[in-house]
Structure 1
Amino acid sequence: MTTLGRINYDEAIHFHNDSDKAKDGILTVSDDNLQKLEHPEWAPTWDAKDDHAFEHFKPFKHTDRALFGDSTFKSLTEDKNVIVRKVTPKLGLEVEGIQLSKLTDKQKDDLALLVAEKGVIAFRNQDFKFQSFEDIKKWGNYFGPLHVHPTSGAPLNNPEFHLVFRRGSAEEQSKIFQNKLHNIAWHSDVTYENQPPGLTLFAMLQSGESGGDTQFLDMFEAYDRLSPFMKEKIDDLKVLHTSKDQAFFAKQTGGIERKDPVSSIHPLVRYHPVLKRKCLFINKGFSRRILGLKIEESDNLLMFLLNHIESCLDAHVRLNWDSNTVVVWDNRRVLHTATTDWETDDIRHAFRVTTLAERPVGSKEEYESWTPELEEKNISLTDYYLDLSPAEYYEKVIQEDKV
Structure 2
Amino acid sequence: MSFTSTTTETIRTSNTLSSNQKNAPIDQQIANIIRTEHSLNIGSSIHFHDGADKEGVLMLPESSRKRLEDGGIDLSAGYPEIPDVLEIPIFVDEAHAIRAEDVPYIERGKNADPEKKALLGAAKEVIHLTKNVGTEIVGLQLADLTDQQKDELALLVAERVVVFFRDQKLPPTKQHELGSYLGNVEVHPQTPHVTGLPGATVIWNDFKLKKGMVLNYANANLSNWDPIRNKSIGNQTWHTDLVHEHQPAGYTHLHLDAIPKSGGDTLWASGYGAYDKLSDEFKRFLDGKKAVDPKKLKEFIH
Per the shorter chain, which TM-score range? 0.5 to 0.7
**Residues 376-402 of structure 1, C-alpha deviation per residue, up to 9 Å, x if partnerless?**
xxxxxxxxxxxxxxxxxxxxxxxxxxx
CA distance in 1, matches of 2:294, 2:140: 37
**Residues 147-188 of structure 1, C-alpha deviation per residue, up to 9 Å, x if partnerless?**
1223222123422122211116699756621xx444651111
More relative contact order, 1 or 2 (CA 8 Å, 6+ apart)? 1
The code of the aligned residue for 2:277 comes to R
Secondary structure at 1:163 match in 2? coil
CA distance in 2, matches of 1:14, 1:203: 20
Given that 2:133 and 2:270 are in contact with CA atoms closer than 8 Å, whether structure 1 keeps it comes out as yes
2:140 matched to 1:88? no
2:83 matched to 1:47? yes
Specify the alignment match of 2:45 in structure 1: 17
Specify the alignment match of 2:186 in structure 1: 147
CA distance in 2, matches of 1:77, 1:218: 22
CA distance in 1, matches of 2:175, 2:167: 17
2:299 matched to 1:265? yes
Given that 2:105 and 2:184 are in contact with CA atoms closer than 8 Å, whether structure 1 keeps it comes out as no
Change (3 A) 1:70 1:182: closer
Secondary structure at 2:187 match in 1? coil
Change (3 A) 1:234 1:150: farther
Given that 1:86 and 1:93 are in contact with CA atoms closer than 8 Å, whether structure 2 keeps it comes out as yes
**Residues 119-146 of structure 1, C-alpha deviation per residue, up to 9 Å, x if partnerless?**
1111011011x25x3x433321111111
Specify the alignment match of 1:187 in structure 2: 239
Q: CA offset at residue 213 of structure 1?
A: 1.4
The code of the aligned residue for 2:59 comes to K
Specify the alignment match of 1:281 in structure 2: none
Q: CA offset at residue 230 of structure 1?
A: 2.2
Given that 1:84 and 1:95 are in contact with CA atoms closer than 8 Å, whether structure 2 keeps it comes out as yes
Specify the alignment match of 1:67 in structure 2: 110
2:167 matched to 1:125? yes
Change (3 A) 1:216 1:194: same
**Residues 275-329 of structure 1, C-alpha deviation per residue, up to 9 Å, x if partnerless?**
xxxxxxxxxxxxxxxxxxxxxxxxxxxxxxxxxxxxxxxxxxxxxxxxxxxxxxx
Given that 1:21 and 1:27 are in contact with CA atoms closer than 8 Å, whether structure 2 keeps it comes out as no
Specify the alignment match of 2:29 in structure 1: none
The code of the aligned residue for 1:240 comes to V
**Residues 351-391 of structure 1, C-alpha deviation per residue, up to 9 Å, x if partnerless?**
xxxxxxxxxxxxxxxxxxxxxxxxxxxxxxxxxxxxxxxxx
2:148 matched to 1:106? yes
- Which structure has the highest helix share of the two? 2
Unpaired stretches in structure 1, ≥5 consecutive residues: 1-12, 244-261, 269-403
Change (3 A) 1:239 1:205: same
Candidates 30, 37, 57, aligned match of 2:60: 37
Specify the alignment match of 1:228 in structure 2: 280
CA distance in 2, matches of 1:194, 1:163: 23
Change (3 A) 1:78 1:226: closer
Change (3 A) 1:59 1:184: same
Q: CA offset at residue 223 of structure 1?
A: 1.5
Specify the alignment match of 1:397 in structure 2: none
Q: TM-score by structure 2 length?
A: 0.66
Q: CA offset at residue 58 of structure 1?
A: 1.0
2:225 matched to 1:164? no
CA distance in 2, matches of 1:99, 1:76: 11
Given that 2:128 and 2:135 are in contact with CA atoms closer than 8 Å, whether structure 1 keeps it comes out as yes
2:216 matched to 1:216? no
Q: TM-score by structure 1 length?
A: 0.50
2:293 matched to 1:241? yes
Q: CA offset at residue 35 of structure 1?
A: 1.5
- Which structure has the highest strand share of the two? 1
CA distance in 1, matches of 2:186, 2:169: 23
Secondary structure at 1:21 match in 2? coil
Given that 1:101 and 1:127 are in contact with CA atoms closer than 8 Å, whether structure 2 keeps it comes out as yes
Given that 1:15 and 1:27 are in contact with CA atoms closer than 8 Å, whether structure 2 keeps it comes out as no
The code of the aligned residue for 1:194 comes to H
